[in-house]
Amino acid sequence: MKGIYTKARAKINLTLEVIGKREDNYHNIKSVFQKINLYDELYIQKTKTNEIKIRSNTKELNNKKNILYKAYEKLKETNPNITGIEVRLNKKIPMQAGLAGGSTDCASFLLGMNQLFDLKLSKEEIKNIGKSLGADVVPCLYNKAVLAEGIGDIITPIPTNFKYYIIIIKPDISCNTKKMYKKIDEKKRFMQTKNSDKMVKALQQKDIELLTNNLYNIFEEALEEKHILQGIKEALIHQGAIRKFNDRFGVLCLWHI
């Protein structure tokens, strides 16, 4: 049966500012997203059934709670010509690491299904479906640096081809996004740095010093295990990293090419 192979690339937040909580319990953000060369692999193949079967090297993803299952059901609501499929998911992106593993899988799945079944969905239609499935899905539809605002659904592509090396370390600590937002909400007087506009400028001008001086992620301030990250950062800086930075729970440091 016909199939399609696609790579779902991870993202990092070069900046992440939480503007405030909305009435629908989502949060407005301002963030510079950057796709990186770490990716999951998806192979989507048509079957003679009328359902989705997910096979992954990560056992906990082989169930109906997987976001790919939800995306499949959402697509079938308005596209009755979609038949059954089998998805083979080779998971390489660490889970609960702030790298949008589930969201980028979903984004690549939507794009792949659009091509596989010739659905002729516009980018705006795909964005609307992605938005209904998760806040990070929309920015993950773009394989480039973007400024994400609103709940992550207002996207401004950043014209840049700036290349730099990064190291990402995922310590043995994890927490889901909802818990992180809850911790931020509980801090009534929480000061944060507003660096996103400067980060956009840094990428546009290929200015590594401006970039490293404006790395920021509000989630780090709410993390109880912050001292673990600090120790890792100091060790990496000692080895020549330009600047410390935390992307949720993964430590990211930069080297200029």
Mark whether 136 is an active-site residue. yes
Of residues 110, 153, 147, 114, the one with CA closest to residue 135: 153
Helix/strand/coil (H/E/C) assignment for every residue in 86-150: EEEEECCCCCCCCCCHHHHHHHHHHHHHHHHCCCCCCHHHHHHHHHHHCCCCCHHHCCCCEEEEE
| Residue whose tokens read 């790298």 | 99
Mark whether 182 is an active-site residue. no
Spot the catalytic one: 30, 136, 233, 247.
136
Q: How far apart are CA 190 and CA 206, in angstroms?
A: 31
Read off the tokens for 42.
Answer: 């998806």
Residue 233: count of CB within 10 angstroms of its CB: 19
Spot the catalytic one: 11, 30, 91, 170.
11
Catalytic site residues?
11, 136
